[in-house]
Every structure is written in structure tokens, then in C-alpha cells.
Amino acid sequence: MDHSEPVFVAAPVEVARNEPLKVAILHYWLVNMRGGEKVLEALCELYPQADIFTHVYHPEAISGVITRHKIFTTFIQRLPWPVRFYKAYLPLMPFAVESLDLQAYDLVISSEAGPMKAALTRPDALHICYCHSPMRYIWDQYYEYRRGRGLLARLAMTLFATPLRIWDSASASRVDHFIANSRFVAARIRKFYGRDAIVINPPVATARFAISDKVEDYYLCFGQLVFYKRFDLAVAAFNQSGRRLIIAGAGEQSAALKKIAGSNITFLGRVEDENIPALLANCRALIFPGAEDFGIIPVETMAAGRPVIAYGTGGAAETIIDGQTGILFPTQTAASLNAAITSFEAQEPNFSPTTIRHHAQQFDTATFKSKIASLITRALDANSRHPEQLN
């Protein structure tokens, strides 16, 4: 971990004030439960009085921790088939977020991986942005996203990307303090927005996972089957080696991956939440071939005592100790991945499940809450005494 990062001590969530703190939490969209929604759950537990604002809301797919709050949507919710086509409405989202009336709120927390940090707040309100990532599809991964799209989608991206970049960069000035989920993301915030960010890793419910005494002979790829996670690289590597691989998850690349996979590769599809701990705990190792902003699944796997074989960049390089809690491979090629697996198998008995789990526990939800609460308490206190000194 980066020892230059500030250490936060648990503190009360609210500073002394005459009236109850009015809190708004802004989240890009609520259509499924992934890593960003786990962050939102923790924020909801810290601020049970908070109202939530989002572009699109699909309540059947969202946890009760979130749905018990008052949830307000932008006009994107009223467009045709918003849950299915919300990504197509991205060019309209700047107008949608700026239409939100947040003048009643003292504290605004934007959970950002899309255009939510641009909200208009009172001059004396405090705006904290927890940034999962600047929008990948208009910044550093623009060409990768564009390459896999059809003609109309590529044309739309060409037309809208530049104005979205200008707006996204300019709207960063509306945030008082940025929090990044990893050093990798903090560097991108500095590059694209010209702002510094404090790093607070996202919450992982490590208590949900336990060490298994019956590790089975399979490797595991787990997550949403989308192109940037590079499950195709895992398929290519295991096609070459003949080792047993289980791929768990659903997504737009499912059919394409099944088409190229050999008989040694099994697809489970979507896995129910109650079955995930055993799936992670019983694998020889997790295969993590993509470049992620943080990567919660590798930490969950380590919480179950299992090592992770990962591409050595992004969040994985910050959470995995090479040779102790996993193996990092240097290039996104099947040969590099297979070399890492061979290296792992040569030293597999040396990987201690207890050591691996202990390492993962530093990313627990309680740590996240403590750091967030401390930071916001101090920022609120500074804002109440010196509002003119906000960033």
C-alpha cells in the first residue's frame, strides 16, 4: 500500500450544527449491483437520512440497503426503455444532472463513473466526489470502446466525445474534494481534471468469505463478460494449455467467448450471490486478465484465502503482493498469462491461505467507512469555519 496516503481515524459523521445535516448522494445509474453500488450501500449506511439522485433506477435489481432511501431520478428515467438503453442516453446526461435542484442540501456526495459530479450545489454546500473512474469511454479507453462498436455507434462517439470531454473536465471545478478508489484512478483524475485526490479503497465485505479445506482443480474467471475485462485472453491461454477454467458471469461477450472456447472451459453464467463465496474459496487461483480501476473480485478471492493471477497494472498492482498473495504478469498476451500460471504452479504450496486472507482484510468495509467518515467530518468542519478556502 502507499504509505504516503493519509491515515484516517474514525470520527462522528456529523459536526456540531444547529439543524440536522441534509445529505444528497448522487449515483450515475441504479440498474444492477456491482462495485459502485457496494460503495453506495456503505454511504447509505453512513448517512441513513440521505436522499439519492440517479439517472435511471431499476428497483428490482437493487438492494434494500439502497431502496429504503428516497430515490429521485432525472428525465432520463422517462425516456424509452431507460434500463436497457441508458448508455445510449449518455450525451443527454450533462443536461439531466444539471437539472437537479440540490439547493436544500448541505452535503452532496457524488459517486462518479459517469456525469454526476457536475451537479449544481449551493455555494456554501460541501461537494465530495468519490470517483470510481473518469469516464473511460471518452478518455483513456476511448479507442478501445470505439473499436468494438457498429457504424452508428462509432459515428455517435466521434460526434459527442469531444464536447463531453470539454464538459467533463470543466465540471470537475464544481467538486470541493475528490476521493479516488485507487492510486491508478487518482493519477487519471490528475491527468484529465488537473485535481489531486485522496485515495480511499472501496469497501469489501471480507467477513462474507472464508478459507475452504477442499480446493478443487480449476482456475476461475469471474465478472461481467465485457471486452475490457479481457476474458478472451484467458480463453486463449487456457485453450493453449488445456488446463481447466471456469468462467462465471454474464454479459455482451458471452456468445463470442463460448464460440472460441475449448472443451476444458466451462461457462456458469450468472452466479447467485449465496454461491459466490464457495466458488472463490474452492478455486486454485483467480485469473484476472483485465486492467481494472480497483478490482473488488480479486480482493474477495484473497479474502477467501485464494491467490490471484493478474495483469500487473491498475488496481491489481496495488492490492496483490506478487509472489505472496498472487502472481502478476507483465503483458496482456496468452503466453505471458500461461507463464504466470506455470510459475504459480511451481510455488503453489508456498501460498498461505491465512496470509492471503489477512492481507485482504485491510480492505474491509469497516475501514472504508472509518476513512470516509473522518474525511467528511473534517471537511464539513473546515467548510463551516472557512468556506472561502474550499478547493
Q: What confidence tier does 88 reach under pLDDT thresholds 50, 70, 90?
A: confident
For residue 101, with 0-12 CB atoms within 10 Å meaning exposed, 13-18 middle and 19 or more buried, which class applies?
Answer: exposed
Report the distance separating Cα 366 and Cα 322, nearest Å: 26
Task: Classify domain 23-203+364-389 at the CATH class level.
Answer: alpha beta
Rg over alpha carbons for the chain, rounded to the nearest Å, is 21
**Mean pLDDT in the chain?**
90
Residue-wise pLDDT for 254-299, tens only, equals: 999 999 999 999 999 999 989 999 999 999 999 999 999 999 999 9
Q: Where are the domains of the chain?
A: 23-203+364-389, 206-362
Neighbours of 193 (CB within 10 A): 22
Dig out the grid coordinates for 265 from the structure: 472451459
**pTM for the model:** 0.85
Report the distance separating Cα 166 and Cα 223, nearest Å: 32
Could you tell me which of 245, 232, 261, 242 has the C-alpha nearest to residue 334?
A: 232
Report the distance separating Cα 281 and Cα 360, nearest Å: 13
Report the distance separating Cα 297 and Cα 252, nearest Å: 19
For the chain, give the percent of residues with pLDDT over 70.
92
What is the predicted pLDDT for the residue at 7? Answer: 37
The answer to whether residue 312 scores a pLDDT higher than 90 is: yes
Report the distance separating Cα 288 and Cα 286, nearest Å: 6
Dig out the grid coordinates for 297 from the structure: 473480485
Position of cell 442540501?
Answer: 105
Superfamily, domain 206-362: Glycogen Phosphorylase B; (3.40.50.2000)
Q: What angle do CA 4, 47, 45 make, to 5 degrees?
A: 85
Residue type, 66: I
What is the predicted pLDDT for the residue at 140? Answer: 73
Residue-wise pLDDT for 54-79, tens only, equals: 999 999 999 999 999 999 999 999 99
Report the distance separating Cα 330 and Cα 311, nearest Å: 6
Q: What confidence tier does 5 reach under pLDDT thresholds 50, 70, 90?
A: very low
Higher pLDDT, 54 or 7: 54
Q: Determine phi and psi for 235, rounding to 5 degrees.
A: -60, -45
CA neighbours within 13 Å on the CB side: how many for 144?
Answer: 13
Whether 23-203+364-389 shares its CATH topology with 206-362 is answered yes
Report the distance separating Cα 278 and Cα 332, nearest Å: 28
What is the predicted pLDDT for the residue at 385? Answer: 61
For residue 260, with 0-12 CB atoms within 10 Å meaning exposed, 13-18 middle and 19 or more buried, which class applies?
Answer: exposed
Query: Distances in Å between the alpha carbon of 190 and those of 174, 199, 262?
Result: 15, 12, 43
Give CA 209 to chain center in angstroms.
19
Could you say which DSSP state residue 1 is in? -
